[in-house]
Structure 1
Amino acid sequence: MIFAVIGGAGYHFYQKQQHNELHQQTAEKMIEKINRADLNDKKNPFGENKKINDLTDDDMQLFIHEMTHQKVKADQKWGFILMTQNRIDWLYRALKKNTFTYEKTYHTILNCWENGDFSKAVQDQNAIWKIQGGTIGKATGLLAASEERQYIEAQNKK
């Protein structure tokens, strides 16, 4: 009887682990596919014809804000742009080429992101949200990796 319980629990744990790994691989493949498409597309990595030198403060705020949605908890989220390294790199290059009103804020955010640090995504989202005059949808915490994968998958089903 004890062996049956231990065996059953072990099997359940193994199945859950396999399920989580499958979701992780699916999300990683999707991001890789988007990154490759970004590199091959004649448009900018956000799918627009706008050139890097034409980026405005509004563009920077929209792109940064909507990319943070996959990283943060908030009561309301409007818009979603999948965060990819190619998109981060492109915004960082735009920051170096152009002059922006909120250049310091963008630099602080993109410098961390460029280095793979998303630990301050809540502060990043709320900084942009505040600049945009946000009243609803303030970020309240970071999503766990599994929550982020679920959010991305749900957005891609829309």
Structure 2
Amino acid sequence: MKKVLQTILFSLIGLLLLGGAGYWFVQDFLEDDGGEISKVAEEIEQREVSAETTEATEETKTVDKTDADMDEERVQIYLHQMTHQKITADKKRGAVEMSEENIGNMLKIVKENYDHYKHSDFYEKTLLSWQEGDFSNAVSVHNTIWNWHNGTVGRATGLMSAEQEAEYVEKNFR
């Protein structure tokens, strides 16, 4: 009888361990982190946090016009993060200031690589509109790039008010 109880006990413990390991494996395997933009944004965010601890003075990200060989994915990520200054969304990762300088530099990069980018026309129209002060396309631009990168979290739902944008700029760039 004692041997039977031990066998049952060890069997139950073994089943519990296997069940727990199986649950952990399935959760880890099926976990969805929001697509490529989220992954890259998380990496950038982690670098920023470590940079903030070592160098608290650097807060504004800018696009350097010497980045003329920027690959298309990086262009998409920069444009996506620039829209964060204008759009409302439940979650935003990464911020690039939508300054005249950054818009101009991105436009130069797009024009220089026009024949190499799949969506050059989209980038150019977007940046020309922004250069003229028209940001009404920010939600569409954000969600288009978000869709290209299979985004699952942080879909843009509208444009920020002037007050919300001022608060965002103060928090992220000043």
Q: TM-score, normalised by structure 2?
A: 0.59
Listed as ranges, the gaps of 5+ residues in structure 1 are 1-43
What secondary structure sits across from 1:53 in the alignment?
coil
Residue 73 of structure 1: how far off its partner (Å): 0.3
Alpha-carbon distance in structure 1 between the residues aligned to 2:162 and 2:98: 14
Contact persistence 1:67–1:82 (CA under 8 A): yes
What secondary structure sits across from 1:140 in the alignment?
strand
Residue 156 of structure 1: how far off its partner (Å): 4.0
Alpha-carbon distance in structure 2 between the residues aligned to 1:127 and 1:105: 10
Q: TM-score, normalised by structure 1?
A: 0.65
Per-residue CA shift, 1:4-41, capped at 9, x if unaligned?
Answer: xxxxxxxxxxxxxxxxxxxxxxxxxxxxxxxxxxxxxx
Q: How does 1:45-56 map to 2 (within 5 A)?
A: 45-46=62-63, 51-56=66-71
Q: How does 1:67-146 map to 2 (within 5 A)?
A: 67-98=82-113, 99-146=116-163
Residue 101 of structure 1: how far off its partner (Å): 1.5
- Moved beyond 4 Å, runs of 4+: none
May I ask how many residue pairs the two structures share in their alignment? 112
Percent of pairs with identical residues: 36
Letter in 2 for 1:62: I
Letter in 1 for 2:164: E
Residue 45 of structure 1: how far off its partner (Å): 4.0
Letter in 1 for 2:143: N
Contact persistence 1:45–1:90 (CA under 8 A): no
Superposition RMSD on alpha carbons, in Å?
1.9
Listed as ranges, the gaps of 5+ residues in structure 2 are 1-60
Whichever of the two has the greater Rg, that structure is 2
